[in-house]
A = this chain, B = another copy of it.
Amino acid sequence: ADIEAGKAKAAVCAGCHGANGISAIPTYPNLAGQKAAYLVSSMKAYKAQERTGGQAPVMYGMVAALSDADIENLAAYFESLGN
């Protein structure tokens, strides 16, 4: 995965998940240092709308336009923020 490409793609995520992957909003998860494989499965779950309720629908819009490569790059980028 391409962490730099992930970083570029992550600009829009910062609004809720924080510029450094630590969210300022308690109901939004921190992403920094999270397992990349888990982040991939979460983003794909939102994309497939397998998660409903709460803030899930907000994420549908966020991931709708992401390709699998984008998702891999974003996941690698956020995991790298934990190191």
Chain A residues in the interface with B (C-beta under 8 A): 23, 25-30, 33-38, 41-42, 45, 48, 50-56, 82
Closest 4 CB pairs of A and B: A50-B53, A26-B37, A29-B38, A27-B37
Counting every copy of the chain, the complex holds 2
Q: Is the CB of B41 within 8 A of A34?
A: no
Q: Which residues of B contact A35 (CB under 8 A)?
A: 23, 25-30
9 A-B pairs with CB atoms under 8 Å apart are A23-B35, A23-B38, A28-B38, A29-B35, A33-B33, A41-B54, A45-B53, A51-B51, A51-B52
Expressed in whole angstroms, the Cα–Cα distance for A39 and B53 within the complex equals 14
Q: Is the CB of A50 within 8 A of B48?
A: no
